[in-house]
Amino acid sequence: MFNRRTVIKGALVAPALLLSVNPRRRAAAQGADDYGVASGDPRSDGVVLWTRVPEAFQNGGPLTVHFEVSLTEDFASVVLQGSVTTDAGHDFTVKMRTGGLEPFTRYYYRFTTDTGYTSVTGRTKTAPDPDSSIEQLTFAYVSCQDYTQGFYTVYAAICQDDDADYCIHLGDNIYETGDAGFQNGQVREDTIGGGEARTLEEYRAKYKLYLSDPDFREVRRLFCWIHLWDDHEVFNNYAGRDLVSEEQKARQLAGYTAFLEYLPVEPVTPLTVVDDKAVVRLYRKLSFGALADLFVLDLRQFRDGVVCASDFLSPGCPELEDPARTMLGYQQRSWLKKNLLGSQARWKVLLNEMMLVRFVAFDIGTDGRPTGKPPRFFGRPRRVEGDIVSEANGLTLYINLDAWDGYPAERTELLSFIADKQIRNVVVWTGDIHNCYAGVLKPDFTDPASPSVAVEVVGGSVSSAGVFELLGGLIDPTPLAAPLLQQSNPYIEYVDLKYHVYTKAVLTRESMQVSYRAVETITETVSASFTLQSFTIPDGESQLLPS
């Protein structure tokens, strides 16, 4: 993620029972350091369950925590029970995978300790059997939840709608920084680490701070989650292959450790340290019957670093075209291509932290009109603010080279692979940029004849500042800015620069219905919600139809 205050300004200027209890009343009953329960990474026979034992019940040493899983909320039909151990080395968090459960079934769960702790009751759902023909699946996905920027009314809306089978977080689960470049005034205060988390204890404190929000705890309690990370779980715009200093490596390890402690995630391989760097395989595939395969990507750990003089509002540089530059890394890229090709599911969904579509602020030729072409580097180039731009080709300004625009060869390889192998129904769900964009993906974005091979739906943020806030929050910039952005990016078919949303996706065999569900405000604890825009993606067609 980039410094949005600078980038966006620059770009634009040039009722169920479980819901009957108010989460804020529930919070008062739980206590200040009770961070609730959560579940995640659903499989057909089980889920990952999570809690943290509050300080008052920790008893100083290793602690046995008991769990129960039931078909009913009153625990009259317990189907699974057992015990696990936690201690101070894990910050008294508990995370374990259940097994032996029935596919596509709702369950309730809770934790207790012999020291007197009884958790709130959580609700979860297993995935469908891999070979089952499910008629419909509903997902809600979110990203970017800066605690200081506002209240989590988006999460309250998910709970109130209560129609998602599963929820997904696409990254920036926390913000390690209090840098004003990511903010536009503060609704809530975060002073951890003097404004910057650097140690394991400070990263843990960040998760506790975010979990102090009752709507966040409630949405974790009610739904089974799939989590991935972006950059702020460690530090802004970090690239795993570009970590040099001991401080950076220590922060990476601390950030990864806290992420795995506080979120209901089951990595494919455990966290280890290799050559002084934290290593864990987080990319994975989750299957939901014959209807959907979800590919959870890791766009941080294996990427090359920034090569141009600037990564925002940049005209680019020759090094961008290096075919060896990678965001995925060789192993993850090979895994993704193999599994996309082998998937028999109707929908192949990429859970993707950063915009895959080409996204430029300006695309201006020497005649002053958009070229639809990136700058080339031949002839007699001139230097503009440290970057090289061809005089004969005018100027293209990329909005964010920290996203896939900074890795064009790998993007072309991936999208060309989808085209060449005729892989149908690939849809990309994306976060990171704090506003809503939806469009089609092409192997060559500069060629109008290049086929559309996939659809990308970028969701806005839960609370992190978008264009509307960064321009003062007085006037919706969408009517003015959207046509300009779409002129330079004709494959982007929808833009909203104002609202905070969650994105709801309803999958059937015939179509994927995608809706932006927006809230009116994040500066108050309660907000109305509404459908901002809906699209239909028909089976077998890489297109967005307004609906």
d(CA 41, CA 126): 9
d(CA 530, CA 14): 32
Over the stretch 276-319, which tens digit does the pLDDT of each residue have?
A: 999 999 999 999 999 999 999 999 999 999 999 989 899 999 99
Over the stretch 203-240, which tens digit does the pLDDT of each residue have?
A: 999 999 999 999 999 999 999 999 999 999 999 999 99
Higher-pLDDT residue of 528, 382: 528
pLDDT of residue 2: 42
CATH of segment(s) 15-44+127-305+322-356+402-546 = 3.60.21.70
Would the pLDDT of 21 be above 60? no
Over the stretch 257-275, which tens digit does the pLDDT of each residue have?
A: 999 999 999 999 999 999 9
Report the candidate in 41, 32, 24 with the shortest Cα–Cα distance to residue 208.
32
- State the pLDDT confidence band at 396, using cuts at 50, 70 and 90: confident
d(CA 83, CA 519): 40
d(CA 259, CA 102): 28
d(CA 301, CA 171): 13
pLDDT of residue 11: 36
The pLDDT > 70 percentage for the chain reads: 87
DSSP string spanning 277-331? Answer: EEE----EEEEETTTEEEEE--SSTT-----SS-SEEE---GGGG-TT--SS-HH
Cβ neighbour number for residue 183 with a 10 Å cutoff: 21
- Report yes or no: 529 and 498 within 8 Å, Cβ to Cβ: no
Give the mean model confidence (pLDDT) for residues 81-85: 98
- Report yes or no: 424 and 387 within 8 Å, Cβ to Cβ: no
- Locate the domains of the chain by residue range: 15-44+127-305+322-356+402-546
pLDDT of residue 24: 56
Q: Where is average pLDDT lowest: 4-13, 336-345, 438-447?
A: 4-13
d(CA 170, CA 507): 19
- State the pLDDT confidence band at 394, using cuts at 50, 70 and 90: low
d(CA 330, CA 343): 20
Would the pLDDT of 201 be above 60? yes
pTM: 0.92
pLDDT of residue 61: 84
Give the mean model confidence (pLDDT) for residues 80-94: 98
d(CA 282, CA 277): 15
- State the pLDDT confidence band at 545, using cuts at 50, 70 and 90: very high
pLDDT of residue 374: 40
Over the stretch 415-466, which tens digit does the pLDDT of each residue have?
A: 999 999 999 999 999 999 999 999 999 999 999 999 999 999 999 999 999 9
DSSP string spanning 528-541? Answer: -EEEEEEEEEETT-
Average per-residue pLDDT for the chain: 90
